[in-house]
Amino acid sequence: MNIVVLVKQVPDTYSERKLADSDHTLDRESADAVLDEINERAVEEALQLQATHGGEVTVVSVGPDRATDAIRKALSMGADKAVHVSDEALHGSDAIATAKVLAKAVSTIEGVDLVLAGNEATDGRVGAVPAMVAELLGLPALTHARKVEVDGTAVKVERETDEGVLHLSAALPAVISVNEKINEPRYPSFKGIMAAKKKPVTTLTVADLGVDTAELGIAGSWTSVLESAPKPPRSAGQRVEDEGDGGTKVAEYLVGQKLI
Amino acid sequence: MAEVLVLVDHVDGEVKKVTHELLTAARLIGEASAVVVGAPGTAAKLRDALAAHGAAKVYVAESDDAATQLLTPEVDVLAALVAQASPAAVLVAASASGKEIAGRLAIRIGSGVLVDATEVNADATVGQSIFGGAYNVKAKASKGVPVISVRPGAVEAANAEGAAAEETVAVPAANAASVVTINSREPLAAGDRPELTEASVVVSGGRGVASAENFAVVEALADALGGAVGASRAAVDSGYYPHQFQVGQTGKTVSPQLYIALGISGAIQHRAGMQTSKTIVAVNKDAEAPIFEIADFGVVGDLFKVAPQLTEEVTKRKG
């Protein structure tokens, strides 16, 4: 079974994230970049399915040159090869523009049975890119999976969201997004890290994919950001040392604020 | 006045609160048309609630498939209605399902999608709050009919009489290759506490709570205040509390009237999930904990002494 895993490099959620003043896009210098955690779970699920069903695991990422680090991390976990779409024309692309490029990139890989992705990236939090890719490819989208079972040409998924648990089924090929409950991702071994350096990474431009640059970037996206501003930081209020009456003091404060 | 399509979010024959918020937002832009997609007989149960929140029209798209196929019936129906009614915008809830419906619909109709709006303006531009509330953004759809997912709780629902004139529309035949079948549903075990993202009070515990058993202290305070229980990532990773209660960048984003942080240091990861709360109270042993930088009221002390005392005070005042 051939599996594609969509991965994204994101600013580390433990660092301060900023937008550039000039064009409202992510200020990539301001934060450390990491493979989004949920993607590690998607890679893990792909590797577990591969262990049972065989086939190849290909990582696909759309992002600037430095996204190579995220791709290498996925390869060091055990994925076989990667496709990296990197192009200046992508700068400032919105979710739909990005989904179009991802869908085209997936189409370059032959005999894909399953496309796996994280359910929502920690930076944009659009939470719809896997479904958008499915829409563009005309495939079923089984999203927010906490459990995946492949049986021949069919796939079963347990979807868990705040709305409850749904037991889903669809025919392969299909797109699946995973949630935090799906598995515990493995740590890359030293051997895996060394092996990843030799694994093939195909770098493509949008022209290679036959995507019109007029549909990409800040100008080509179907949405535009009109303005952006950092929210004024909260300032610290009152602080007291507990001298045996800390709870009472909080209660008095809450009464003063009419909160209790 | 142009129509604005509002996808009705419903469960067990009841309209979810967010739909009232969407109808209110829709009336800013144009005339609100509710769109009900579901099993036969669904719309009849919802009509009164939709009328009371200003729905001028109710499009009824019912079929057996609509209830057993995942999200594509909603996308198909909305796409057909956009072609039929030429609306000024389409509004859906920014829930897990709503965000996907919006994204797919926008691609289908060749329009821009605006995600998780915290503000909807009359010209169909939106305000968004990103990076856990660190930035405010204003955005617009530059192509097509704006498809907007609106964050639950962001818009205050207002009552208004609407005619709620019903119009039956067909659920288009599904594309067999892309159908996902819903074989069965289990509701999440709902406790007695309010839902984390909807609660007006959230009491969260962090690493300082130190064990799963000790979370009883957090729960007791939450229950006294009628609030929800949250947990920091450190507490979840240590196995003290289940992941679905995690507040932070990789968990839920909450914005309650009152947020009480017990034994939470306040890493940027956590703050991203709660810094837009109206009032923040923090209790931590470490006077240097960064949570104090954003707390309106902080107590440097032992949460196991402070929290039970506060629980008692709250209970006493209620009594």
pLDDT digits (tens, 9 = 90+) for B247-287: 998 889 898 999 999 999 999 989 999 998 999 999 999 99
B302: left (phi over 0), alpha (psi -120 to 50) or beta: beta
Q: Determine, yes or no, domain membership for B253.
A: yes
A32 CB within 8 Å of a chain B CB? no
**pLDDT of res. B204:** 98
Q: Look up the CATH number of the domain holding residue B228.
A: 3.40.50.1220
Q: Do A126 and B187 touch (CB under 8 A)?
A: no
B284 is in an annotated binding site: yes
Q: Look up residue B228 and give its DSSP letter.
A: E
Exposed/middle/buried for residue B90 (C-beta within 10 Å: 0-12, 13-18, 19+): buried
B247 is in an annotated binding site: yes
**pLDDT of res. B246:** 95
Which residues lie closer than 8 Å to B70 by C-beta, 6 or more apart? A141, A142, A159, A166, A168, B180, B181, B182
**pLDDT of res. B318:** 80
Pair (B266, B126) in one structural domain: no
Half-sphere exposure of B150 (CA within 13 A, CB side): 32
pLDDT over 70, % of chain A: 100
Pair (B42, B123) in one structural domain: yes
Shortest CA gap A11–chain B (Å): 10
Pair (B138, B249) in one structural domain: no
B44 CB within 8 Å of a chain A CB? no
Domains of chain A: 3-220 (3.40.50.620)
B153: left (phi over 0), alpha (psi -120 to 50) or beta: left
Pair (B112, B230) in one structural domain: no
Q: Determine, yes or no, domain membership for B261.
A: yes
**Residues A3, B86: Cα–Cα separation, whole Å:** 40
Q: Determine, yes or no, domain membership for B52.
A: yes
pLDDT over 90, % of chain A: 88
Closest-CA residue of A relative to B224 is A260
**Residues B153, A95: Cα–Cα separation, whole Å:** 24
- Chain B residues within an 8 Å CB radius of A162: 95-96, 188, 195, 197, 244
According to DSSP, the residues that pair with B166 across neighbouring strands are B58
Q: B48 vs A44, A197, B18, B45, B53, CA distance in Å? A: 48, 63, 16, 7, 9
**Element containing residue A149 per DSSP (H, E):** strand A141-151
Pair (B255, B289) in one structural domain: yes
Pair (B112, B11) in one structural domain: yes
Say whether A113 sits in a helix, a strand or coil: coil
Domain span at residue B131 reads: 3-178
**pLDDT of res. A21:** 86
A244: left (phi over 0), alpha (psi -120 to 50) or beta: left
Q: Indicate if the pLDDT at residue B152 is higher than 90.
A: no
A181: left (phi over 0), alpha (psi -120 to 50) or beta: alpha
User: What b/e string do you get for A168-205 counting C-beta neighbours within 10 Å, with b at 16 or more?
Assistant: bbbbbbbbbbbbbebbebeebeeebeeebeebeeeebe
Of B188, B248, B301, the CB nearest to A241: B301
pLDDT digits (tens, 9 = 90+) for A26-85: 988 888 899 999 999 999 999 999 999 999 999 999 999 999 999 999 999 999 999 999
Pair (B94, B229) in one structural domain: no
Q: Look up the CATH number of the domain holding residue B113.
A: 3.40.50.620
pLDDT over 90, % of chain B: 86
**pLDDT of res. B289:** 96
**Residues A17, A29: Cα–Cα separation, whole Å:** 9
Pair (B77, B217) in one structural domain: no
A143 CB within 8 Å of a chain B CB? yes
How many Cβ atoms from other residues are within 10 Å of residue A152's Cβ?
A: 8
Best CA proximity match to B262, nearest among B229, B223, B293: B229
**Residues A79, A53: Cα–Cα separation, whole Å:** 14
Pair (B158, B37) in one structural domain: yes
Pair (B59, B120) in one structural domain: yes
pLDDT digits (tens, 9 = 90+) for B47-103: 999 999 999 999 999 999 999 999 999 999 999 999 999 999 999 999 999 999 999
Q: Determine, yes or no, domain membership for B192.
A: no
B140 CB within 8 Å of a chain A CB? yes
Of B178, B212, B243, which residue constitutes the final position of a domain? B178
A180 CB within 8 Å of a chain B CB? yes
Contacts with B, A 40-79, CB within 8 Å: none
Q: What does B16-64 look like in DSSP terms, one character per residue? A: -HHHHHHHHHHHHHSEEEEEEEESTTHHHHHHHHHHHBT-SEEEEEE-H
**Element containing residue A69 per DSSP (H, E):** helix A68-77
Contacts with A, B 80-119, CB within 8 Å: 95-97, 99-100, 102-104, 106-108, 110-116
Number of domains in chain B: 2
Dihedral of the CA atoms B193, B194, B196, B202 (nearest 10)? Answer: -80
How many Cβ atoms from other residues are within 10 Å of residue B173's Cβ?
A: 9
Strand bridging mode A223-230 / B279-284: unpaired
Q: What are phi and psi of A148, to 5 degrees?
A: -130, 130
Q: Indicate if the pLDDT at residue B191 is higher than 80.
A: no
Cα-to-chain-centroid distance, residue B290: 28
> Is the peptide bond between A185 and the residue preceding it cis, with omega within 30 degrees of 0?
no
Of B113, B125, B302, the CB nearest to A226: B125
Of A36 and A232, which is predicted with more confidence?
Answer: A36
**pLDDT of res. B132:** 84
A12 CB within 8 Å of a chain B CB? no
Q: Determine, yes or no, domain membership for B285.
A: yes
Pair (B168, B243) in one structural domain: no
Of B95, B244, B275, the CB nearest to A163: B95
Q: Do A161 and B97 touch (CB under 8 A)?
A: yes
Q: What average pLDDT does the segment A146-171 reach? A: 95
Q: Do B281 and A134 touch (CB under 8 A)?
A: no
- Chain B residues within an 8 Å CB radius of A255: 317
A222 CB within 8 Å of a chain B CB? yes
Strand bridging mode A81-85 / A154-161: unpaired
Q: Determine, yes or no, domain membership for B218.
A: yes
Could you give the angle at which helices A68-77 and A37-53 cross, rounded to 10 degrees?
40
pLDDT digits (tens, 9 = 90+) for B5-32: 999 999 989 999 899 999 999 999 999 9
Q: Determine, yes or no, domain membership for B60.
A: yes
CB contact at 8 A, A129 and A8: no
Q: Determine, yes or no, domain membership for B126.
A: yes
According to DSSP, the residues that pair with B258 across neighbouring strands are B201, B279
Pair (B50, B84) in one structural domain: yes
Cβ-Cβ contacts under 8 Å between A and B: the total is 267
Q: Do A138 and B178 touch (CB under 8 A)?
A: yes
Q: Indicate if the pLDDT at residue B190 is higher than 70.
A: no
